[in-house]
Amino acid sequence: ALAAPALAQSQPEVTWQLSSGYPKLLDTIYGASETFADTVRELTDGKFDIKVFPAGEIVDTSDGLDAVQEGKIEIASTASNYFWEKDPAFAFGTGVPFGLNQRMMNSWLYEGGGLELLNGFYKKFNIIGFPSGNTGAQMGGWFRREINSLDDLQGLKFRIGGFGGTIIEKIGVQPVDLPPERIYGALENGTIDAAEFVGPYDDDRLGLNRVAKYYYYPGWWEGGVTLMNLVNLDKWNALPKSYQAAIRSASAQANATMIARYDSLNPPTLRQLVQFGTVLRPYSHDIMLACFNAAEETYKELASDNADFKALLDSYMSYRRDAYLWFQLSEYAQDAFLMLQQRAGRL
Amino acid sequence: ALAAPALAQSQPEVTWQLSSGYPKLLDTIYGASETFADTVRELTDGKFDIKVFPAGEIVDTSDGLDAVQEGKIEIASTASNYFWEKDPAFAFGTGVPFGLNQRMMNSWLYEGGGLELLNGFYKKFNIIGFPSGNTGAQMGGWFRREINSLDDLQGLKFRIGGFGGTIIEKIGVQPVDLPPERIYGALENGTIDAAEFVGPYDDDRLGLNRVAKYYYYPGWWEGGVTLMNLVNLDKWNALPKSYQAAIRSASAQANATMIARYDSLNPPTLRQLVQFGTVLRPYSHDIMLACFNAAEETYKELASDNADFKALLDSYMSYRRDAYLWFQLSEYAQDAFLMLQQRAGRL
């Protein structure tokens, strides 16, 4: 409401600042913010100009939420779950371990009431959020030796981002938090035993394949990671309707573009990694099940004394229940059949 | 180029006509065109007004392409493969049997060069296309008796849309083309033995469960059906850049919204159908394989004397090969694990 008078004309000149939670090195995630800002400019004849900054240049990743809340910047383009220690309900803006995949996440957010519920929560922080990207299911990390059982994981020092760490700790892993640029060195010198980051394309850029041989899947703690444009609510309210529409549409377009880029870039990188010696390994079913149980337990604990977390959990998990009923029919049957043909060299 | 002088101002009043290839009854598909037009209006302060008409009101579904080409309407929002008899290359705007799933299709179109290649082909018809929706993997149809083997399919009169019919004919099925409103009656009075339409939500609206008990999956001929906004190229070229951006973004948003709607609506409908007696059955592996082989044979035949078809096929199929390599890791492992938990009643 503050800036409303200045914006009374229908196409005023507006300049905003967006801070990405990521470095330029991650051209898929950082690049989606550039796509977003470019689209907003195109939609408004260049009148609504959103300047994009990489993490750390004007705001550090960990300060993204505060900076938007206080109006220091207008948008933080980031993972909502980075702020889960402030309130675990933030996790649902990104998705939680053993949660919704990319497509289900979009469905829940756009049509299942998820985004509405989430924005009810974000409002407490003077923020409104728009899904602005998705990495898809991430990989399960790089290990220097094979992990065949739960015993092999005991005391293992594992670099893992955010919320997943609290869950994997319950089965005996020692989670370590490290920024991307320090993962390679820590894995090389043995400060950590294993590390997860994103998927083939991003992991390859960090060179992780050169310091660990075994590449595990799935990254059950990040099965459909959503990125969000977190926008200062006062600034949002002061925008002309057409500029609000531009943010909404350009965010949706960035959301679609990011996953399309990952799905284009990951397969050839995966092929190359395997060619140069990376060995792919699935987590065993008993490891998966122990982690699943630890996750369910964690959710119950958090929901017991946090009404926002509980409301989001109930909505998200009832969506998961129905979605996995539906997806096991046509989607799964068609995919599974074609994967068999792929393995048989018939595609 | 024709209309350019009139549009020299940056936000001129422009009114266009869009004819959907679908009736209002299909509120998911038809509704996505309304979402699209609403978004364009919001983005342009109401100055770019696209009027949406259901199939048949100003243009019949089968005339959509001609009507756009001749400039009678500006946009046909439809399935490109309806026009495959004019040129089979049109099939790739929708996706082909045993082809890319919803997510792969978007990736191929947006980031894999697919849309560029397709628009090179559409240009011959004075058209430019924008993906504007997706139904996801469709179901494999309603049967009055169980289909356990290829023998059970011999001579069976099966209502099936478009391109899939030419393929299923090769394994002995007799394809029948019928508009949606006539399927129920034909199945009831035995004119046809079986029928496919879309998926639980749309099929339920036609009442197909009341005249056939067995509901098969997957709909391998429509594994990631894409809808397109097919736009008259002269009219497109005459638009101000910001209106072109509005069409591009609003189409992307409609594309995301349609699949989100289907994924929200299909699961509860499926649950209800099963509750009222529908029996779910997967096609057997030998039926799937025979159809797969028939499809591959068809593609080879068509590619042998059609350069556009060949160029699109090569691009699309090399994408399929890589995508199914990648998806069998994290995406598939995570989904499969959660489906097992779903079946065990643990979600």
- B103, B242, B326 ranked by CB distance to A102: nearest: B103
Q: How far is CA A92 from each of CA A121, A173, A295, B300, rounded to the nearest angstrom?
A: 10, 23, 14, 47
Assess whether pLDDT exceeds 90 at residue A47. Answer: yes
User: Are A100 and A198 within one domain?
Assistant: no
pLDDT confidence of residue B5: 42
Distance CA(A156)–CA(B344), nearest Å, equals: 31
Are A217 and A230 members of one domain? no
A72 and A95, same structural domain? yes
| Three-class secondary structure of residue B294 per DSSP | helix
A257: left (phi over 0), alpha (psi -120 to 50) or beta: alpha
Give the pairing type, strands A157-159 and A174-176: parallel
Please give the structure tokens belonging to residue A124. Answer: 């407490």
How many CA atoms are closer than 13 Å to the CA of B285, on its beta-carbon side? 6
Residue B107 is assigned to a structural domain of this protein: yes
Please name the member of A43, A325, A329 whose beta carbon is closest to the beta carbon of B246.
A43
- Please state, in angstroms and rounded to a whole number, the distance separating the CA atoms of residues B141 and B137: 12
User: Same structural domain for residues A22 and A120?
Assistant: yes
Whether residue A125 sits in one domain with residue A110: yes
pLDDT by residue (tens digit) across A186-239?
999 999 999 999 999 999 999 999 999 999 999 999 999 999 999 999 999 999
Q: Do B106 and A321 touch (CB under 8 A)?
A: no
- For residues A28 and A110, membership in a common domain is answered with yes
Of A43, A8, A41, A249, nearest to B11 by C-alpha is A43
Interface probe with A: pick from B44, B216, B263, B346, most Cβ of A within 10 Å: B263
A62 and A102 together in one domain: yes
Mean pLDDT of chain A: 95
Split at pLDDT 50, 70, 90, the class of A9 is low
Q: What kind and span of H or E run contains B125?
A: none
pLDDT value of residue B163 = 85
Measured CA angle at A316 (ends A313, A318), to 5 deg: 100
Q: Is residue B285 part of a domain?
A: no
Q: Which two tokens stand for residue A16?
A: 């905003």
DSSP collapsed to 3 states, chain A? CCCHHHHCCCCCCEEEEEEECCCCCCHHHHHHHHHHHHHHHHHCCCCEEEEEECCCCCCCHHHHHHHHHCCCCCEEEECHHHHCCCCHHHHHHCCCCCCCCHHHHHHHHHHCCHHHHHHHHHHHHCEEEEEEEECCCCCCEEECCCCCCCHHHCCCEEECCCHHHHHHHHHCCEEECCCHHHHHHHHHCCCCCEECCCCHHHHHHHCHHHCCCEEEECCCCCCCCEEEEEEEHHHHHCCCHHHHHHHHHHHHHHHHHHHHHHHHHHHHHHHHHHHCCCEEEECCHHHHHHHHHHHHHHHHHHHHCCHHHHHHHHHHHHHHHHHHHHCCCHHHHHHHHHHHHHHCCCC
Note whether A110 and A256 are same-domain residues: yes
Please identify among residues 189-218 of chain A the ones whose CB lies closer than 8 Å to any CB of chain B.
Answer: 199-200, 217-218
Contact B80, B91 (CB under 8 A): yes
Half-sphere exposure of A266 (CA within 13 A, CB side): 28
> Best of B11, B221, B247, B249 to disrupt the A interface by mutation (most A CBs within 10 Å)?
B249
Of A253, A338, A347, the CB nearest to B249: A253
Angle B82-B88-B94 from CA coordinates, rounded to 5°: 50
The pLDDT tens digits along chain B (347 residues) read 444 444 456 789 999 999 999 999 899 999 999 999 999 999 999 999 999 999 999 999 999 999 999 999 999 999 999 999 999 999 999 999 999 999 999 999 999 999 999 999 999 999 999 999 999 999 999 999 999 999 999 999 999 977 899 999 999 999 999 988 899 999 999 999 999 999 999 999 999 999 999 999 999 999 999 999 999 999 999 999 999 999 999 999 999 999 999 999 999 999 999 999 999 999 999 999 999 999 999 999 999 999 999 999 999 999 999 999 999 999 999 999 999 999 999 99
Confidence class of residue A180 from pLDDT cuts 50, 70 and 90?
confident
The answer to whether residue A6 scores a pLDDT higher than 50 is: no
* Whether A41 and A87 share a structural domain: yes
Q: Is B219 helix (H, G, I), strand (E, B) or coil?
A: coil
Tokens of B347: 């979600």
Q: Does A25 touch chain B (CB under 8 A)?
A: no
Domain boundary (A264, A294, A323) is at A264
A112 touches chain B (CB under 8 A): yes
Task: Clarify whether residues A251 and A297 are in a common domain.
Answer: no
**In the beta sheet, which residues pair with residue B133?**
B227
Q: Which of A203, A330, A332, A347 is the best mutation test for B, with the most CBs of B within 10 A?
A: A330
Question: Are both A118 and A215 inside the same structural domain?
Answer: no
Average pLDDT in the A326-341 region?
Answer: 95
DSSP string, B23-68: -TT-HHHHHHHHHHHHHHHHHTTT-EEEEEE-TTTSS-GGGHHHHH
B219–A330: do the CB atoms touch at under 8 Å?
yes
Instruction: Answer yes or no: are the C-beta atoms of A37 and A73 closer than 8 Å.
Output: no
Cα-Cα-Cα-Cα dihedral sign, residues B199, B200, B204, B205: negative
CB-CB contact of A43 with B246 (8 Å): yes
Counted across chains A and B, CB pairs separated by less than 8 A come out at: 247
Residue in chain B lying closest to A347 (CA): B321
Q: Per-residue b/e over B68-81, b at no fewer than 16 CB within 10 Å?
A: bbeeebbbbbbbbb
Q: How many domains does chain B have?
A: 1
> Which among A298, B211, A337 has a CA at the least distance from the CA of B197?
B211
In the predicted structure, residue A104 carries a pLDDT above the cut 90? yes
Nearest by CB to B256, from A199, A246, A255: name it.
A255
CA distance B63 to chain A (A): 30
DSSP B187: H
Q: Is B318 on the interface with A (CB under 8 A)?
A: no
Query: Does residue B133 sit in helix, strand or coil?
Result: strand
Task: Answer whether residue A197 is part of any domain.
Answer: yes
B248 contacts on A by Cβ (under 8 Å): 253
Which candidate in A44, A105, A107, A281 is best for mutational testing of the B interface (most B CBs within 10 A)?
A107
Strands, DSSP E only, in chain B? 14-20, 48-53, 75-78, 127-134, 141-143, 157-159, 174-176, 194-195, 214-217, 226-232, 279-282
B37: tokens are 């037009």
Backbone φ and ψ of B47, nearest 5°: -80, -30
Inter-chain CB proximity B336 and A333 less than 8 Å: no
Structural domain span for residue A211: 141-222+278-343
pLDDT at position A2, please?
Answer: 44
Residue B326 and residue A138: Cβ atoms within 8 Å? no
**CATH number of B75's domain:** 3.40.190.170
Residue B78 belongs to a domain: yes
A252, B249 in Cβ contact below 8 A?
Answer: yes
Q: Does B269 touch chain A (CB under 8 A)?
A: no
CA distance B194 to A232: 55
ipTM of the complex: 0.95
Give residue A7's pLDDT band: very low, low, confident or very high (50, 70, 90): very low
Look at residue B231 and tell me if it is in a domain: yes
CA distances from B266 to A329, B62, B258 (A): 11, 27, 12
What's at B56, amino acid-wise? G
Assign residue A217 the CATH number of its domain: 3.40.190.10
Q: Are strands B75-78 and B14-20 parallel, antiparallel or unpaired?
A: parallel
Residue A269 lies in a domain: no
Instruction: Report the residue of chain A nearest B268, measured CA to CA.
Output: A322
Give the whole-angstrom CA distance, residue B297 versus residue B94. Answer: 19
Q: Is the pLDDT of residue A340 over 80?
A: yes
The answer as to whether B195 is a domain residue is: no
**Would an 8 Å CB–CB cutoff place A113 in contact with chain B?**
no
Q: Give the pLDDT mean for A294-312.
A: 97
* A162 has a pLDDT exceeding 90: no
Q: Is residue B23 part of a domain?
A: yes
In this structure, the answer to whether residues A61 and A154 fall within a common structural domain is no
Handedness of CA A297, A298, A303, A304 (dihedral sign): positive
**CB distance B335–A342 less than 8 Å?**
no
